[in-house]
Amino acid sequence: MTYSYNYDEQDEIEHENEDDQKEEKVKEIGGEQNETPSTPSIPSTTTITPASSTPSPPISSPSPPPPTPPTTPSSNPPIPPSLQKERPYPLFLLEKAADVLDEASQSFTTFVSTLSSENALPPPLQTGTRPKVVVLGTGWGAASYLKTLSTTSYEVTVISPRNFFLFTPMLAGAAVGTVEYRSITEAVRKLNSNMNFLEATATSVDTESKTIECESVVCEGNSCTIDSFTVPYDYAIVTIGAATNTFGIPGVRENCNFLKQISDARRIRTSIVNCFERANLPGLTETQKRATLTFAVIGAGPTGVEFASELRDFVEQDGPVFYPHLLPYVRIKVIEASSTILAPFDKSLQESAIASLTRKTTVLEGSGGDITELLLDSGVAEVKSNVILLNDGREIPYGLSVWAAGNGPMPLTLSLIDAIGGEQKDAQPVARGRLAVDGWCRVKGTDGTLMAFGDCSCQVENQLPATAQVASQQGEYLAKLFSRGYDFTGGLPGVGVVGCSLPPPLSPSTTSSLAEKVAGFATGNTGYAVPFQFLNLGILAYTGAGSALAQVQLTPDSKRKIKGTGQVGFGIWRSVYLSKQVSGRNRLLVLVDWVKAKSFGRDITRL
């Protein structure tokens, strides 16, 4: 599904981020790396071990620099528009088809050469001889980059506080127990076995010395320390995603649950069961029971709508078995500041989603049949510990609140924008807290050795939605350019320009692939990498009770679309989510979870 970056109140966000940076850092490191319930809190006086005295992380020895060592330009001259132009859509599709043929022929060649080498294992890869690529993050962008990259040409180190990939589109399902946490996560080491992974958070990137400062939380018993160390790079790939945007609204950070990480889903799932068990205790008044069983979902974008729908499925499908006497008290309130829901979808699909969300229920006897209430045009002014205050003065008592209202910048992204200055600062009116990149994912204002894609980046000339679809296509695109040996510093030997002043040229000794020939024909330029072009495969959203929305765009101008709702949409939704899992293991586990939930209900034990 498609999400738009929501930076409407940028001033507030920046202010909030300044205030929250330190707290965020500790939360990020501690929260992500130590997800076990018994995780001790990090003491305020942590030991910051100097880089030199840290137990050395397994970083390789220095390797020769990449093909064209660049000098950092203070500002790059603009790339000629003729080299940036998009391919006409039919030719772009032809290029994609050629790409598939290229891949098939490459796999066949590899297979044949494996057979002819009489099953001999390839020689072990040498460290210190290949350019060092450091990837920050293990999300959608990083996963597709790592799965596609030929690691025989590069020495790859991945740094992230999370040692797994998370299939975010099914996080809402995990938060109510439709699928289990481990079914939608995959160890990053499985995505590409030929790389080194460091479980740490990158805190700064020095583009001059080409080093990355990292921090890692190490806990022993009840005390935790933060170890810091430095990692050198030849190419750094920043794909660290986005943070939750609270728009500076008081009480959101303290009282709302977010839905970004697996730890959030776990917390929400526990809290839902908690609300039911609390409401079941003796001595509560009717009003207290109703408040405890009011679930407030703030934000009616795809995340909010999908969570509200999954929660309602839980109430309708499992409530009658476990809590029949409590069901008349249950309310799901979806609060949205704008006048509609699911902004990326067409109006007819939005209406269908509203009808599905607010349909009468058959399990809530004596309550008029309403479980979900949609509050449109209802901006949140403040969230207190048990009541939400709306801008118009209304008060909504709640038992659990989930904030699903927008993306904001990560502290590292902001610090990089600050450190690069110049072109980055100039681009901020458009990029709004994201790293401005060119069409080849190179961070503007750098020498072409720092790349960014996914939610933390913004292609200024051609803005794209902040979605998994975009991030993973960008990751695959960039990995292919790396594997083909393009020179990202943009300096053709003899031309005399370095940095991001030209598209990455293909080495003159490399023969163009079929896809490159088609792209070259489409643009009239051969020898240079074509810029990233997004192939919109459509958007999906689950709307509850076995119905979903599917919107597939047939032409880039959005005029011709295929739309599906109800069970048809649901069929498409489930097949796409299943096919997009990153491994066969995930696919099987998700399938089993769906069957399990349907046959035996969701697991409500609070472990």
> Contact residues for ligand FAD (CB under 6 A)?
1, 3, 32, 136-142, 159-162, 168-169, 171-172, 201-202, 239-241, 259-260, 302-303, 410, 412, 454-456, 466-469, 471
For the beta sheet containing 223-232, the strands, ordered from the edge strand earlier in sequence to the opposite edge, are 48-49, 223-232, 211-220, 201-206
The DSSP line for 292-321 is: HTEEEEE--SHHHHHHHHHHHHHHHHHHHH
| 475 or 531: CB nearest ligand FAD | 475
Backbone angles phi and psi of 588, in degrees to 5: -65, -45
Nearest-approach distance from CB 239 to ligand FAD, in angstroms: 5
CB of 561 to ligand FAD, least distance (A): 17
DSSP label of 328: G
Q: How far is the CB of 558 from ligand FAD (least distance, A)?
A: 17
- Minimum distance from residue 277 beta carbon to ligand FAD (Å): 25
- When the beta carbons of 216 and 449 are compared against ligand FAD, the nearer one is 216
Nearest alpha-carbon partner for 12 in 247, 253, 244: 247
Q: What angle do CA 262, 145, 189 make, to 5 degrees?
A: 55
- CA 60 vs CA 158, 160, 196, 293: distances in Å: 13, 18, 10, 54
- Give me the least distance between CB of 186 and ligand FAD, in Å please: 12
Structure tokens at 53: 């005295």
Query: What are the backbone angles phi and psi of residue 264, rounded to the nearest 5°?
Result: -65, -45
233 neighbors 210 (Cβ within 8 angstroms)? yes
Which residue's CB atom is positioned nearest to ligand FAD?
139
Residue 78 carries which DSSP code?
P
Nearer to ligand FAD, 422 or 465 (CB): 465
- Pick 357 or 456: Cβ nearer ligand FAD: 456
Query: Please, which residue, 101 or 562, has the CB nearer to ligand FAD?
Result: 562
Least distance CB 254 / ligand FAD (angstroms): 20
Give the C-alpha distances (Å, rounded to integers) separating 13 from 19, 229, 304, 344. 10, 29, 21, 23
Angle between helices 347-357 and 302-322 (to 10 degrees): 20
Alpha-carbon 95 to chain mean position: 27
Nearer to ligand FAD, 163 or 386 (CB): 163
H or E segment to which residue 265 belongs: helix 262-279
Q: What's the closest the beta carbon of residue 138 comes to ligand FAD, in angstroms?
A: 4
Q: What φ, ψ does residue 101 adopt, rounded to 5°?
A: -65, -40
Min dist CB 304 to ligand FAD, Å, is 9
Q: Are 344 and 536 in contact (CB under 8 A)?
A: no
Other Cβ atoms within 10 Å of 556 Cβ, number: 15
Angle at 334 between CA 330 and CA 340, to 5 degrees: 150
| Minimum CB distance to ligand FAD, residue 265 (Å) | 8
* Cβ closest to ligand FAD, residue 1 vs residue 149: 1
| Residue 465, number of CB atoms within 10 A of its CB | 16
Minimum distance of ligand FAD from residue 511's CB (angstroms): 32
Question: Which residue, 18 or 377, is less far from ligand FAD as judged by CB?
Answer: 18
Closer by beta carbon to ligand FAD, 3 or else 235: 3
CA distance 523 to 167: 35
Tokens of 596: 């399990």
CA-based nearest residue to 605, from 269, 179, 309, 171: 269
Nearer Cβ to ligand FAD (158/337): 158
Q: What share of the chain is helix, strand, coil (3-state, %, to 5)?
A: 40, 20, 45
Q: How far is the CB of 292 from ligand FAD (least distance, A)?
A: 25
Region of 469 on the Ramachandran plot (φ > 0 left; ψ -120 to 50 alpha; else beta): alpha
> Nearer to ligand FAD by C-beta: 528 or 532?
532
Q: What token pair was written down for 103? A: 């891949």
Between 210 and 260, name the residue whose CB sits nearer to ligand FAD.
260
Nearest approach in angstroms of CB 160 to ligand FAD is 4
Could you give the CA distance from residue 285 to residue 287 in angstroms, rounded to a whole number?
5
**Shortest distance in whole angstroms from residue 237 CB to ligand FAD:** 10
Nearer to ligand FAD, 136 or 506 (CB): 136
CA distance linking residue 150 with residue 91, whole number of Å: 26
Q: Please, which residue, 14 or 310, has the CB nearer to ligand FAD?
A: 310
Least distance to ligand FAD, CB of residue 387, Å: 25
Nearest to 304 by CA among 86, 500, 542: 542
What's 169's DSSP letter? G
CB of 554 to ligand FAD, least distance (A): 19
DSSP for residue 125? P
- Read off the tokens for 197: 């992974």
CB 376 within 8 A of CB 351: no
Q: Closer to ligand FAD at the Cβ: 326 or 435? A: 435
